[in-house]
Structure 1
Amino acid sequence: MRSAIRCLTLAFLLAALAIPSAAADQPDPSYSYFGGLAAELTAPGQAPPGANDWSCKPTAAHPNPVVLLHGLANDTLSWNTLSPVLTNAGYCVFTTTYGVGALGPMMGALTPIAQSAAQISDFIDRVRTATGSGKVDLVGHSMGGAVPFYMLNHLGGIPKIDRYVALAAPLHGSTVSGLATLQPLLESTPVGAQLTAQCGPCELSPGARDSVDLNANAAIAPDIRFTTVVTRYDEISTPWTTGLLDGPNVDNVVLQDLCPTDYTEHNELTADPVAVRVVLNALDSEHAEPVSCTVVLPFAGPIR
């Protein structure tokens, strides 16, 4: 935990060097959480670059459209990096902001898991119809990597998915660096109980009164190839091992095992160049490329 705090501090100290100003022109993609944040501030609610071309038809090289699912954020913020990378690689890419609650479209994944999962299932069906594809590949960050397991277990989602990539997903619940211990206290009040009852992430908190067992078990879908990507510096999906799965159809990737100088935490993960390469390799394992190691700072991304 102390290492993570030191890394966060260093990131904010160097952020000004990494991105001179929020208004400055940046290469697309930026490989920085701040790039997604700038996109959300300048064009809130817009699909990330390359996403949601409903006329896109998958090719023989990439026959499955890719559906990107955000965590406690939205698609604009989360996929500012990965969406254009995948589009440039020849994929049909689709995103949506699901689970919108009281905060509106600026933050999704807030509604109860069953509700979010139903919205995701409907969106996948829309993508399959538009592209003429029988299956899609999923890439989900945080709640976006966890909620689809509800769809697999309860909404008939297994036949619709080919590859499933989960980035820092609280597959087995999360302590949120200890903050989850406060949830029983919150639930002991009438207002708090009402709030948590409508809060999807709260359903994955240990000891939650209204908990949901996602049954995050790769064995339920032996024909799906699962890839998990986690960082030891995660401060949200904790312990970081909550993002791992077991089974012969699973590839577990710990970023620091590939690159010891990758200090990315939870939020930077979707823009981390090391993680991006892992995702590309997971989606097209027959043409996997070596993962290059560099220094990656929390939030700010790689040092150039």
Structure 2
Amino acid sequence: MAQGTAAAATTPDPPAPRGQLLAGPAALIGGLVHPDDPPAGANDWSCKPTKEHPRPVVLLHGTFANAYDNWGVMSPYLKQLGYCVFAAEYGGTPGNPVKATAHVPVSAGEIADFVDRVLKSTGAHQVDLVGHSQGGGVTPRWYLRFAGGTDSAHPEKNKVHSLIGLAPSNHGTTASGLGTLTTKLGLNKPVSAVLGEAYEDQLVGSEVNTTLDKDGDTQPGVDYTVIATKLDEVVTPYTHQFLTAGPKATVKNITIQDICPRDLSEHVSIAFDSNAAQLVRNALDPAHAKPVECTVTLPVLGG
């Protein structure tokens, strides 16, 4: 596909990404080597949305990750489907492969700047956000509510149409007990000094979570989709990922094992999961949703 073009409406959908059993480890290595590069298919600033796919897709990586290592499967797949795809980097410094560690409001401001750039470049009215972990949870929700992503009084002016979160950190995590331990020991500040403020921001009961949850989970005019796995070891309990729809918003909470019982993805590998990719496809274009062709996905390795 040439730069700046998208797939025609008559072009058959590409098959879901298969054979990705080593996608996770390969992505980690790639992210170390290319910490500031976009993944394949992303950040073609000449791309113009089509009538079939009028909204660009903005990918938001998770904590301690970067765009290159988080979206090696999803980005080229969405590009092949005909979307203009953009992958943001936030919450970290250039050259450092470990990003999304900054204070959530700071990262949300960086996402706001990136979305504005995408809208200006493409001429689109709105974008769709697809995020993993922090990138699908508290940080884009902060952007939507406090950093200009939506206009609650005039939802038609929203910059975001939908937020699709893969294993999103929506209501705080116990981090399989680690967060509970550091909270009880009063160690959240020292640990955050080492790991970044995003660590404490995403724990159960944090100031960020309390502020976000005070007035409900959603913003008017936004469609939310949560794709969670029962095997999540990072955002725990996994049910903390689910959202409740408020006025003029829609929420679809999906546990991936309810769709594909043999899916063994956990927090990391859900970003490299063919089944999850198909669910994202359906969430982006629900009018043309298709049954998920389930395949086996393994912990850490993907599938």
- Normalized against structure 2, the TM-score is what? 0.83
| More moved, 143-152 vs 275-284 | 143-152
Say whether residues 1:213 and 2:211 are aligned partners.
yes
* Distance in 2 separating the partners of 1:110 and 1:38: 19
Residue matched to 2:14 = none
Instruction: Select 1:75's aligned residue among 67, 72, 75.
Output: 67
* Distance in 2 separating the partners of 1:36 and 1:139: 18
Cα contact 1:202–1:211 (8 A) shared by 2: no
* Paired amino acid for 2:239: T
Cα contact 2:53–2:83 (8 A) shared by 1: yes
Partner-residue secondary structure (3-state), 2:180: helix
* Distance in 2 separating the partners of 1:285 and 1:176: 32
* Distance in 2 separating the partners of 1:209 and 1:151: 16
* Structure 1 unpaired stretches of 5+: 1-26
How do 1:273-292 residues align onto structure 2 when only pairs under 5 Å count?
Answer: 273-292=274-293
State the Cα deviation string for residues 245-282 of structure 1 (Å, max 9, x = none): 12261111100000110000000111100000000000
Shift of 1:41: 4.2
Shift of 1:44: 3.7
Instruction: Select 1:225's aligned residue among 199, 216, 223.
Output: 223
Structure 2 CA distance for partners of 1:209 and 1:51, relative to 1, 3 Å: closer
Cα contact 2:266–2:299 (8 A) shared by 1: yes
Residue matched to 2:148 = 156
* Distance in 1 separating the partners of 2:123 and 2:131: 22
* Distance in 2 separating the partners of 1:29 and 1:132: 36
Shift of 1:287: 1.2
Shift of 1:183: 2.2
Partner-residue secondary structure (3-state), 1:233: coil
How do 1:120-131 residues align onto structure 2 when only pairs under 5 Å count?
Answer: 120-131=111-122
Cα contact 2:224–2:252 (8 A) shared by 1: yes
Shift of 1:299: 1.7
Residue matched to 2:98 = 107
Partner-residue secondary structure (3-state), 1:86: helix
Cα contact 2:45–2:121 (8 A) shared by 1: yes
| More moved, 196-205 vs 81-90 | 196-205
Residue matched to 1:13 = none
* Paired amino acid for 2:274: P
Equivalent residue pairs, number: 274
Residue matched to 2:28 = 37
How do 1:188-207 residues align onto structure 2 when only pairs under 5 Å count?
Answer: 192=190, 195=193, 199-207=197-205
Partner-residue secondary structure (3-state), 1:105: coil
* Distance in 1 separating the partners of 2:97 and 2:28: 11
How do 1:1-304 residues align onto structure 2 when only pairs under 5 Å count?
Answer: 30=20, 32-72=23-63, 73-100=65-92, 105-146=96-137, 147-158=139-150, 159-184=158-183, 187=186, 192=190, 195=193, 199-208=197-206, 213-215=211-213, 220-247=218-245, 249-302=250-303
State the Cα deviation string for residues 205-234 of structure 1 (Å, max 9, x = none): 125578653238776423111111000000
* Distance in 2 separating the partners of 1:148 and 1:209: 16
Structure 2 CA distance for partners of 1:194 and 1:276, relative to 1, 3 Å: closer
Structure 2 CA distance for partners of 1:71 and 1:91, relative to 1, 3 Å: same
* Paired amino acid for 1:266: H
Aligned CA-pair RMSD = 2.6
Cα contact 2:60–2:132 (8 A) shared by 1: yes
* Distance in 2 separating the partners of 1:216 and 1:120: 22
